[in-house]
Amino acid sequence: MLNIRSLLIALCLFAGTSNTWAANYAYFGLEPDIVTNYLGPSSRNLGYVRVTIELMLEDAEYLPIAEHHEPLLRATVIDIFGRQPEQKVKSLTGREEIRKACLDRLRELLQQETGKPVVKEVIFTKYLYQGG
């Protein structure tokens, strides 16, 4: 039967051999901020959104890849926001859905372009909207 001390030693040994504890994440900001329109309640009413986005990369070695593909990344995020209805842009749950859609699409595109997903997370550090 294992006692607590034996269990802790086993966990420490396992953690020491695990690669997940030594992640080498990096952050890449899409600059300048993304500023684009979104769909209002009618075709005559457009709103706009301004978002500051940081990409958490799987590894610091992917920084040159993110920099090289920045125009594609920006265009993709702008396209995703431009297709969103007002109620989604203005709600917290909708904002999270948009963030996940951005993450999924960016990972998919970078997988196609580089053979690696590159992006681990998409983080909205500033999120402002108006109109609609």
Comparing 6-15, 70-79, 96-105, the range with the smallest average pLDDT is 6-15
pTM: 0.79
CB–CB of 128/52 below 8 Å? no
Asked if residue 11 is part of any domain, the answer here is: no
User: What is the reported pLDDT for 15?
Assistant: 46
Asked if residue 57 is part of any domain, the answer here is: yes
The C-alpha torsion from 63 through 68 and 69 to 74, rounded to 10°, is 90
User: What is the reported pLDDT for 17?
Assistant: 42
Asked if residue 13 is part of any domain, the answer here is: no
How many domains is the chain partitioned into structurally? 1
Asked if residue 108 is part of any domain, the answer here is: yes
User: What's the gap between Cα 45 and its chain centre?
Assistant: 28
Query: Which residues form the domain of 107?
Result: 24-131
Q: Which CATH number do you get for residue 105?
A: 3.30.479.30
Asked if residue 105 is part of any domain, the answer here is: yes
Asked if residue 3 is part of any domain, the answer here is: no
Asked if residue 121 is part of any domain, the answer here is: yes
Residue 16 pLDDT greater than 70, yes or no: no
pLDDT in tens, 20-69: 455 799 999 999 999 998 877 766 778 899 999 999 999 999 999 999 99
Asked if residue 41 is part of any domain, the answer here is: yes
Q: Please, what is the average pLDDT of the chain?
A: 85
